[in-house]
Structure 1
Amino acid sequence: MADAGGESRVRSLVSIARGASLYTVGKVVSDAGEFVLHLLVSRFLGAGLYGLFAYGKTLAFTALLLTNLGSDTSILKYLPQYEDQPKKRRFLLGLAWLTSFLGALVVSVTLFVFAPTIAALTLDETGFVAVLRLFAGILFLDTLANLLYATFRAVELIEYEVLTGRILKPGLRVVGVGGALLAGASVYGVVVAMVVASAVTLIVAIAFFFNRLEIRPTLRGPHATRGTVTEYYNFSLPLTAKEAGTVMQGRIDVLIVGVFLSSTAVGIYNVSVLVSSLLYIPLLAFNQLFPPIAARLYANDERADLAAIYGATTRWIFTISLLLGLIVVVFRTEILMVFGSEFTAGTLVLTLFVVSQLFNCATGPSDSLLMMTDHQYTVMANEWVFGIANVVLNIVLIQQYGFVGAAVASAGVLAVRNLTKVAEVWYFERLHPYSRSFFKPLFAGVIAAVGMLVVSALLPPLPAVVLGAVVGIVLYAGVLFLFGIESVDRQAYEKIVGARKSAE
């Protein structure tokens, strides 16, 4: 039985690692596209107009947290949980799609109608209303696409999300926006190109769904009962309220900067936040298939496997993120200089957000684990408590310290929130992800940081970044190797290699 349990555990980790590797490829392409997109807009239009673009995009991204009304997470929970009840899966999927469609419609229309009011209260500058209305269209299209992506993930076919959302859409955006800027377009033309990219991506995702998946949503059948509907909304509505709290944490700092400061300040601040989000990639990557696998293990009462997977996944996330964070902090000025000399004013902001993202990654998929173990109301309470704290601290500190105050508020709240979630997982489920193996990346990080600082002191900026990053990676990997590979990591690696050899 122990061997069977160990085999199941490794198989689940391999599935998570497979999803993470596919997602990482897509995320690297996606983030490269985002980087080029923001670089093009900032270089061609300057910090002021870039600030308008970034502010409108942030508003749409923030609203996107609300439009699906918890449907994406509900799909990740219920499709794996009821894999042996296909009719119930179909009904729950249909309910999720209907709920998300209506939510997207209401929020998008609201943003479109109230665009003049929003502009008057924030960045009351020429052309911003038209830009906001275009972003309302993007919001509707991207909500529907995200629902399809959640369906792909729930059945562990993440490759279709990667192909459409992580490769196709950013590629279309860069080509469209680049062409618009070369043709002399301003910020309005840039956002039109993004609308087209979102529409094409949605069409391709729909085609993948109908051609590659067998499951079809329905609102009829034996499970179309009040009990099933109550079960669904008992999970999704707290998540909707949770997302409302997340809005107050996610990018509310950028929005408040726009209220109290200038579009130039928004541009500088947003670039720093954008660069720090690179550290979020490992957490997002390993969290793609962790929720459905955690939901299945919890439903089957396989707690030992769930604990082992929680610990290994968190350690993997932290190990990768720590190296990325060290590189960004050591070469922060050189990285921001790429966007333009005026953006180097955000070096302290960047450092603060890197530290907070490291706290975020060090706590692993704790948020997803709370949701998949039926503690959605706790997650909702977390988001509201820390969301309100974030809004209040941002308003107070921005007025005293400018956008550095915004960074102190948001970074501090993010760090404390994630530590709280780890404590809650332990309190409710008696699970925690930590072991002595976490000391290995910490020690390796110290050695790598020293090596990069030496290179930075001896070489000019550009060569220092290139050679310093290489030196940091080599030192980091070398120290980890000298400490020894964890047995579960070795087993997962051997299984992946064995599967590839069998495929060949």
Structure 2
Amino acid sequence: MRLGQTSIIYALSKFVASGIGFFATIYLTRTLGEEIYGFYAITLALVSWLGLVKGVGFGNAIIKRMSEGEEPDAYLAAGTLIKTVLTFVVATGILVFQDQVNDYVGQPVAEFVVLLLIVSIFTGLVNAALKGSHMVHIYAPLSTLREAGRSVAMVALVVVGWELSGMLLGHALGTAVMATIGLWIVRPSFVRPRWQHVVRLFDFAKFSWLGSMRKKTFSEADILILGLFVPAGFAGIYAVAYSLSKFLEIFGSAIQKTLFPEMSKRSAQEEMEMIETLTDDALTFAGFFLVPGVVGAAILGDRLLLVYGSGFDIGHWILVILLVGLTIYTYTKQLLNTLNAIDRPDLAFRANGIFIVANVVLNVVLVYSIGWFGAAIATASSAVIGFVLSLYYCRQFIDVRLPVGEIGRQWIAAVSMGGVVYLARAFGEANLTWVDDYNFAFVVLLVGLGAAIYFVILILISRRIRTTISRNLPSDVPIAG
């Protein structure tokens, strides 16, 4: 299958999963409000970071060793043993310091944190087994079903009046059920691991753990720090804004995951010119949805956030700043992907380390100084630092030239789209005052209009986009002209 088609299939499954979560979140925020959703977001961020402590890169190590094809079940068993021991230590610590955990979150959630940790180790092991067994084609749709099951369980328990407890328990139940289905699909043989399996897992994990921490830092460090300095309601609005921005980053992540094995193979064959071409492709298309997302958020962000309930619109410019940061971060991930593919994880490790320190320090300083806007500014600023470093390291080995022309055309199309959407919004607001609660339908129409205008303009002004679309259609269509 063509690389472009593979990226699209992966991205579509993620778009469906995010869409399901989008509508579930709307119901939850409208029903419970931003404060309770803030408690939920802070709890999940805490679980995620504690989960990183118990995993320390062993998830990626399990995938790597299982994919090599030699004694995969033994490596899965060794990884399960390691992660179980680490989880037991972390869970014990949570129960011992449960008063401090509850005080930090602002609600009695320590037992739920332990439950979610246990579910996360189970899910992580199943995901690693699926990927390591070359069942990514199953993992992607299963992750969509997991999001659906989780959303249904959360909404159902909130409907019966469980509020925050229902959200946390529903999250755990929906995740565990889908993980059980994944385990049934993999059906590993339970074997007794040897010490050499543990050692080989550690040999890989000692380099991969910082990459995992970089992801957690970018996605959740700001929410954890917000939990220290601002009310939970602000953290809830921030979490909603971040989830919206991540929706537009899916395609960039799909490109990264799809290109890595191809770039790794080309590197082994010393085809550096092809790696340069693939890196250029990655940088060209990574911001394909994010660039118009930045412009669209600037014009419609307040109305889009109002879909989640009254009061959420104060996160308008938080959303814009986060999208700017996420756009830069997505370009950074493509460059780090190249470094790993050409077997320079040491440089990726160094770039990740500096990025993490910058992100955490800036978050603490700026959130303490100027409040929740500081978290968004810190996230965007650390993304810039990561991009500069990763570009510098890549240029030591390959000729990386930023596709300024293509990215510029994306911005031209996005700004042109923005002008039309701005006028359409102004016209609609002036003539729809007689309609009650028209916001949701109005936003959907404006987003659809903007997307159509953006893609039409981009196809008209970019020959490369036309050619790429034509090559990846299931049949020959003369769009390239």
- The code of the aligned residue for 1:89 comes to G
Matches within 5 A, 1:401-480: 401-432=370-401, 434=403, 436-460=405-429, 461-462=439-440, 464-480=442-458
Cα shift at 1:360: 2.2
Name the CA distance, whole Å, in 1 between partners of 2:263 and 2:446.
38
How far apart, in 2, do the equivalents of 1:315 and 1:119 lie? 49
Please list the CA deviations of residues 173-222 of structure 1 after superposition, one character each: whole Å capped at 9, or x if unmatched: 12111111111113223222222222221122123334xxxx989888xx
CA 1:464–1:186: 2 relative to 1, 3 Å: closer
Equivalents in 1 of 2:64, 2:118: separation in Å?
29
Tell whether the 8 Å contact from 2:5 to 2:472 is kept in structure 1 after alignment. no
| Counterpart check, 1:192 vs 2:189 | no
Distance 1:288 1:260, change over 3 A: same
Deviation at 1:365, TM superposition (A): 1.7
Q: Matched residue pairs, number?
A: 467
Give the TM-score of the pair, scaled to structure 2. Answer: 0.86
Amino acid at match of 1:175: V
C-alpha spacing 1:329/1:62, structure 2 compared with 1 (3 Å): farther
Change (3 A) 1:149 1:413: farther
Aligned-partner SS, 2:47: helix
Deviations 1:32-89 (A, max 9, x none): 2222333333223222222221111112233444544434545666777xxxxxxx53
Map 1:122-141 onto structure 2 (within 5 A): 123=104, 125-141=106-122
The answer to whether the 8 Å contact 2:130/2:186 transfers is: no
User: 1:65-84 to 2 correspondence within 5 Å?
Assistant: 65-74=52-61
Q: Structure 1: 5+ residue runs without aligned partners?
A: 1-10, 81-87
2:22 is the alignment partner of 1:44 = no
2:246 matched to which residue of 1? 277
- Aligned twin of 1:259: 228
Cα distance in 2 for partners of 1:396, 1:283 equals 30
**Secondary structure at 2:308's aligned position in 1?**
coil
Cα distance in 1, alignment partners of residues 420 and 64 from structure 2: 44
CA contact (8 A) 1:278 1:324 kept: no
Partners of 1:457 and 1:44 lie apart in 2 by 30
Task: Note the C-alpha offset of 1:313.
Answer: 2.8
CA distance in 2, matches of 1:288, 1:149: 15
Show the counterpart of 1:6: none
Relative to structure 1, the CA distance from residue 328 to residue 78 in structure 2 (aligned partners, 3 Å threshold; closer, same or farther) is: farther
CA distance in 2, matches of 1:349, 1:240: 29
Deviations 1:144-183, CA, capped at 9 Å, x for gaps: 133134326xx4x5320122112x1111112111111111
> Take 1:396 and 1:126, find their aligned partners in 2: how far apart are those partners?
26
Cα shift at 1:277: 1.4
Residue in structure 2 matched with residue 395 of structure 1 by the alignment: 364
Counterpart for residue 351 of structure 1: 320
- Determine if contact 1:257/1:406 at 8 Å carries over to the other structure: yes
How far did 1:328 drift? 2.7
Distance of 2:293 and 2:105 partners within structure 1:
37
Cα distance in structure 2, aligned partners of 1:495 and 1:271? 33
Q: Map of 1:6-17 to 2, 5 A cutoff? A: 14=2, 16-17=3-4
For the 8 Å contact 1:56–1:135, the answer to whether it is kept is no
Taking the aligned partners of 1:491 and 1:333, their CA distance within structure 2 comes to 34
- The question of 1:178 aligning with 2:151 is answered no
Q: Residues 116 and 250 from structure 1, CA distance in 2 versus in 1: closer, same or farther, beyond 3 angstroms?
A: farther
1:387 deviates by 1.4
Work out which structure has the larger RCO, using CA pairs closer than 8 Å and 6 or more positions apart in sequence.
Answer: 1
2: distance between equivalents of 1:71 and 1:297? 26
Distance in 2, Cα, partners of 1:495 & 1:128: 48
Cα drift, residue 333 of structure 1: 0.3
CA contact (8 A) 2:147 2:175 kept: no
1:165 aligns with 2:143: yes
Stretches of structure 2 lacking an aligned partner (at least 5 in a row): 430-438
Query: 3-state SS of the aligned residue for 2:257?
Result: coil
- Structure 1 residues 201 and 331: alpha-carbon distance in aligned structure 2, compared to 1, 3 A threshold: same
- Which residue is equivalent to 2:433? none
Q: 1:324 to 1:373 in 2, by over 3 A?
A: same
Aligned to 1:238: 207
Letter in 1 for 2:274: D
Pick aligned residue for 1:27 from 7, 10, 14: 14
Aligned-partner SS, 1:427: coil
Instruction: Name the CA distance, whole Å, in 2 between partners of 1:497 and 1:334.
Output: 37
Secondary structure (helix, strand or coil) at the match of 1:301 reads: coil
Percent identical? 17
1:90 to 38, 60, 70: 70
Residues 230, 219 of structure 1: CA spacing in aligned structure 2 closer, same or farther, 3 A cutoff? same
In 2 relative to 1, CA 183–450 (structure 1 residues): closer, same or farther, beyond 3 Å?
same
**Structure 1 residue 433 displacement after superposition:** 5.3
State the TM-score, normalizing by the size of structure 1: 0.83
Match of 1:292 among 242, 255, 261: 261
CA distance in 2, matches of 1:71, 1:394: 27
